[in-house]
Amino acid sequence: MVYDFSKLFKDAENILEEFIDKYTTYCLLSKDDDENSRLHVSYYKNIIKTICARFEEEQLLEQFELLAKHQISSDAHYIVIANEINNLKNVLINKIDKNSINSNFADLFQLFNNIYNKVASVYLQEYASNLKLTNNVRISSLSDLMEKNILAHYESHLVWLSNLADCINNKNVDNFPELDSTMCNFGTWLHDDGKRIIQNNSKYNTIVNMHNTLHLFAKKIRSNISTQEDRVIITYLEKCEMLSLSIGTELALIDNILMNNKVIKDPLTNALNRHSLKNIFKNQYELSMATSNPFILAMCDLDDFKTINDTYGHLFGDRVLVHFVEIVKKNIRNSDIIIRYGGEEFVIMLPAIGKDRGLAVLEKIRKDFYDNFLEIDNKAVQHSVSIGFVEVTPQIHYKQHFLDDYIGAADQKLYSAKHNGRNRIEHC
C-alpha cells in the first residue's frame, strides 16, 4: 500500500528534533556509546523523513525492522521500543496541520498498528532465538559443575525453556513442552524429592509458586500463538525467562547450603577450609553464569593481628579469629560462604548479590566486628578488619586463572584499605 502524508504535517523539519529531545530516553541514556546513539538517531531520521513524504508501507516497515534489530542488539527491552514508537505517533499527531486533515488521518493510525505488529514480530523472533542461545550457555555452565546436586533438575527446566522458545519461533503448537507444572521433569522432582530436600517451607512454597506461574504464562503463550498476538507473547516470554532465572537463583542458594554442610571445615574457626576454595569459586562462577547473577568475592584481613598475638597471647588471638567468623555468620545468609584463607585472612563469597548490596553486607560485618569487644583480664580489647572486594559478573566460560585474577583484584583493594587507614572497605 502507498501512503502520502506530505500535506498532512506542519513543521515537519522540527519533528525529529522534538522527538529525539523528549522521547528517546534510551538513546539519551546511551551517551557512553556515541556510535550507538548516532546510529539510533539515524534510523529515526530516515523513518521520519519517509513518513513525511510519499512512500510504500513495506519500505517503512523495513526501516522499523532495522531499528528493532538495532535496539535488540543494544539489549533494549521491547517496552522501550514500543514506548518510542507510541511517542513518535503522538509527536506526529501533534504536528498535523488541522487544515489538511483528510482520510490520511485514519490511515496514519492503521499504519502505526501495522508498525507495532511488525516490530513485535521481529523482536519476538530475535528474542526467542537469543533466549535459546543464552540458555545453551547456561546449560553448558551447569554441565561443568563438579557436583550438580539439585541443580541437575534446574538444568532440565532450562531445556524446557529452550523448547518453548523453539515452538514460538516455529509457530508450532503441536510439540509444545509440558504445560502441566506437576508433570514436567522439574515439577515431578519438585513435588517429590524436592519437597524433602528443600527443608525451608517458605522457600519451597516460593519455588512452587514461581514454577506454577511460569507454566501458566507458557499456557498463555500457546493460546496466543494461533492468534499471532506477538506483543502479548513477548511479555509472557520475558516473564517466563525472569521466573526461570529466579528459580535457578533460589536453587543455587539452597545448593550452597547443602555444600556448606558437606565441605571440610577449619578446625579452629569452623569456616570452610582453604583447600575447598578452588572448587567453590568455580561452582559459584558457573552458577552465576547459569542464572545471570553477579556475586561478591571479598578478601578480609584482621587489622594489627600480630600485635594482638604479641600483646595478649596466641590463645586470645584464636578467640579473635573465632569471634570474627561468628560475626560474619551472624550477618550473612546460610547460602553465603566464608573460608579461612590463611592466618588472619578470610575469603567471603556472597552469591546472587551485586556491588551495592554486597557493600552493605560487608559494612555490617566490619561495623559489628569493630563494635563488639572481647575481654581479657577484665580489659576490653577492640579489634577491626579491613576488606577489599570485587563484583564477579560472568560473561564467558570459566578459565583456571580466573580465581587468581579475582583474588588478586580483591587483594589489591584490601591493600588499599590497609594503606588508607584500616578498618575500612575498598572495592573495584
Which tens digits make up the pLDDT trace of 209-252?
999 999 999 999 999 988 878 999 999 999 999 999 999 999 99
Query: For the residues 70-83, what does the mean pLDDT come to?
Result: 86
User: According to DSSP H, which parts of 144-275 are helical?
Assistant: 151-169, 185-190, 193-197, 201-225, 230-262
Residue 150 has what pLDDT? 83
SS3 at position 428: coil
Strand 385-392 to 425-427 pairing: parallel
Q: pTM for this structure?
A: 0.84
Query: For the residues 29-39, what does the mean pLDDT come to?
Result: 65
By the 8 A CB rule, do 385 and 301 touch? yes
Rounded CA gap, 95 and 62, in Å?
24
Rounded CA gap, 392 and 338, in Å?
16
What is the fold of 145-258?
Four Helix Bundle (Hemerythrin (Met), subunit A) (1.20.120)
Question: pLDDT digit string (tens) for 330-343?
Answer: 999 999 999 999 99
Rounded CA gap, 42 and 33, in Å?
14
Residue in 261, 133, 239, 254 with CA at minimum distance from that of residue 196: 254
Query: Could you tell me the pLDDT band of residue 141, with boundaries at 50, 70 and 90?
Result: confident
Phi, psi of 55 (to 5 degrees): -155, 165
The gap from C-alpha 201 to its chain's centroid, in whole angstroms, comes to: 26
Residue in 269, 290, 300, 285 with CA at minimum distance from that of residue 366: 300
Cell digits for 339? 573460608
Residue 10 has what pLDDT? 63
Classify residue 127 as left (phi > 0), alpha (psi -120 to 50) or beta. Answer: alpha
Residue 299 has what pLDDT? 98
What is the fold of 264-427?
Alpha-Beta Plaits (3.30.70)
SS3 at position 168: helix
Cell digits for 70? 538495532
**Is 2-126 a CATH 1.10.490 domain?**
yes
DSSP single-letter state for residue 176? P
All structural domains of the chain with their residue ranges: 2-126, 145-258, 264-427
Distances (CA, A) of 278 to 249, 252, 256, 263, 298: 21, 18, 15, 12, 15
Residues in contact with 101: Cβ distance below 8 Å, sequence separation at least 6, in sequence order: 8
